[in-house]
Structures are given as C-alpha cells and as structure tokens.
Amino acid sequence: MSKKGQEEIVGFVLIVVLVVIVLIIFLGIQLRNPKPQQRESELIYQFLESSMEQTSNCTLSSGASYLALDDLIRECHETGSSCISGESSCDSAEDTFKELVNGSFAVGQNYPHKGYDISALYVVNVSGQSQTESVLNITAGNCSDTYLGNSYWIPEFPGSIIVRAKLCF
C-alpha cells in the first residue's frame, strides 16, 4: 500500500513540475513579444518647437504682421476671430499645421509613417481640479498604438495650451 502512495506523489510532483515549466516558457515568450510602443521623441518636440515660430498666412488687421503659429493658436482659443482673408484663426492654424506636417513627414500607406494626430488642449487648474478644453484637432491616416510623440506648452494665462503630436507607424 505505501508503494502505491509514493507512486501517486511522484506522479503529482511530475505534473506540477511540467505545469511550472510550461508557465515559464509561456511567460518567456510573452516578455519577448514587443508591445505597442509609445515613445517620446526629441524629433517631434523639435518639430513642434520650430513649428510654433512658423509664420502663418493670417493677419488680423490691415498693415499688421502675420501671426506665428503659436500666436494663431492662442487667438483661436481666445476669440476664434477671423483673419483679413475671411478664414477663421482656427482654420488658418489647422491649415498651417497640415502644411508643416505634410512638408516634413511623408505620411501614408506606402510610407513608414502611417498617420499623425495633432491636438491642442487648453488646460487650467481651478480649485485643485484640472479643466481641459479642446482648441485644435488634426488627424490624418491610420494611427495605431505604435507611435512617436511629444508635447509643447504654450503659456496662456491663467492656464496653458498643450500641443500634442503623434507620428504613427
């Protein structure tokens, strides 16, 4: 009788050892598979930083200078006023951004970059709570979970406008 009990215990231990080995192999495979990558990119930050200095095609009054993109985004948030051309400041900011992105990055199914997503949000802290308001949103192509991205802050009292850009693969 005791020999049969020992055989059952040895069989049970072998099953447990096999299950542990299978779990270790499964865990190793899962850890090796790359997960969708969402990385901050210095290139995207530099693109945003230089884009904010880009002069747009919008001037608000006759004889005034053309607005830089960051000033145009501020104007879009503050008043949404129109340029002399009749185009709204928000539309002009969107068009300027699209021109810059399309001129800087080849985007489409036949290119390494499959799409982009650019958004500008006004963020203000009121009574310890953060409130956000969408200012601008530009998307093109397909954006998956794998992208390079970064953000740029534009001061806008009493809060800030955060411009986020994602370049998707």
What integer pLDDT is reported at residue 69 of this predicted model? Answer: 93
Q: Supply 11's token pair.
A: 């069989």
Q: Is 73 helix (H, G, I), strand (E, B) or coil?
A: helix
The pLDDT profile of the chain, 169 residues, written as one tens digit per residue, is: 567 777 788 888 999 999 999 999 888 877 776 555 666 788 899 999 999 999 998 998 888 889 999 999 999 998 878 899 899 999 999 999 999 998 888 888 888 888 899 999 999 887 778 888 899 999 888 887 788 889 999 988 888 999 999 988 8
Q: Supply 13's token pair.
A: 């231990």
Q: Is the pTM of this model over 0.75?
A: no
What CA–CA distances, in Å, run from 163 to 102, 140, 153? 17, 16, 6
What integer pLDDT is reported at residue 2 of this predicted model? Answer: 60
Task: Answer whether 45's CB lies under 8 Å from 70's CB.
Answer: no
In terms of Cβ atoms closer than 10 Å to its own Cβ (0-12, 13-18, 19+), residue 9 is exposed
What integer pLDDT is reported at residue 102 of this predicted model? Answer: 87
